[in-house]
Structure 1
Amino acid sequence: MKFMMVVKASKDSEAGTMPSEQMDLMFAAMKKYNEELKKSGVLVSVGGLHPSSNGIRITYPVPGEPPTITEGPFPEVNELIAGYWFINVESREEAIKWAMRAPDPHGLGEGQIELRQVFE
């Protein structure tokens, strides 16, 4: 079963700011966690995303009408994605266990991970 662990954005991730000492600790914890995922054989892919200020949103307003393009940034920070992991596990419970082991993705007590199963 494949799952996507979605790291929700924060005001800091959208601004691209974080104190350097905190960033170093967070990156070290993430590197260790990613190595554990890789060593266990469940990691399919991992990545971080640029802030939405670099993003483009394509909206399909009405069937038959052309889509519209909106340049970022996008104001709904709690709706945005800052990064992800794709993992391949045996069960939903195993996916939850791996997600619970992840360090705070923002390192500031503001992190949030959404866990979603991928259609196969």
Structure 2
Amino acid sequence: MKFMLIWRTTSDTVWDNYGDIDFDKMIETVGRFNEEMIEAGILLAAEGLADPSDNGVVVDFSSEPPVVTDGPYGETKELFNGFYLIDVPTKEDAIAWAKKAPIQGPGFATEIRRVPTIDEFPQDNEWIQKELAWRKANNQL
């Protein structure tokens, strides 16, 4: 089963506690964790997001037309900072990997969400068939 491990912080200020950490050391720590997942054969994708969050935008569909708001996001209680996409047998395995996250401490959390496979959707649906064809053409099946 595929799971997405989503890195979250309660705010940009959480990173202030890491200001004195050597960037190369942090990259090495994360790199070792990535290497462990690669060697275990479970890592499908991993990306971090650029800091600070004030360079991002939100497209809010609560009104017509949608409203675009520049960051930072004062009303947001948690910021999405990056993710891993892993393929493990069970949710418990995903939890075990999340507990090994290389950056931990107060204000950090990892959300775990299962990613459904394409075969869980109605196979006779025109749009599912188009996506299947696209995935086959791009060696994603």
Compute the TM-score of the two structures, normalised by the length of structure 1: 0.80
Q: Is the 8 A contact 2:14 2:107 kept in 1?
A: no
Correspondence 1:36-47 to 2 at 5 A: 36-47=36-47
| 1:77–1:3 CA distance, 2 compared to 1 (3 A) | same
Percent pairwise identity: 35
Count of aligned residue pairs for this structure pair: 114
| 1:35–1:41 CA distance, 2 compared to 1 (3 A) | same
Q: Is the 8 A contact 2:5 2:110 kept in 1?
A: yes
Question: Following TM superposition, by how much is the alpha carbon of 1:103 offset from its aligned partner in structure 2, in angstroms?
Answer: 1.7
Correspondence 1:94-105 to 2 at 5 A: 94-105=93-104
Q: Is the 8 A contact 2:12 2:79 kept in 1?
A: no
Query: What SS does the aligned partner of 1:112 have?
Result: strand
Question: Following TM superposition, by how much is the alpha carbon of 1:112 offset from its aligned partner in structure 2, in angstroms?
Answer: 1.7
Q: Output one character per residue of 1:60-85: Cα deviation in whole Å (capped at 9) or x when no partner.
A: 114xx221111111124542111111
Residue of structure 1 equivalent to 2:91: 92
Residue of structure 2 equivalent to 1:116: 113
Query: Any runs of at least 4 consecutive aligned residues in structure 1 with deviations exceeding 2 A, and if so which?
Result: 9-15, 23-27, 108-111
Query: What SS does the aligned partner of 1:85 have?
Result: strand
Which segments of 5 or more consecutive residues in structure 2 lack a partner in the other structure?
118-141
Is 1:27 matched up with 2:24? Answer: no
Which segments of 5 or more consecutive residues in structure 1 lack a partner in the other structure?
none
Q: Output one character per residue of 1:89-110: Cα deviation in whole Å (capped at 9) or x when no partner.
A: 11111111111122225xx654
Letter in 2 for 1:82: N
Aligned-pair RMSD on alpha carbons? 2.2
Query: What SS does the aligned partner of 1:95 have?
Result: helix
Q: Is the 8 A contact 1:47 1:84 kept in 2?
A: yes
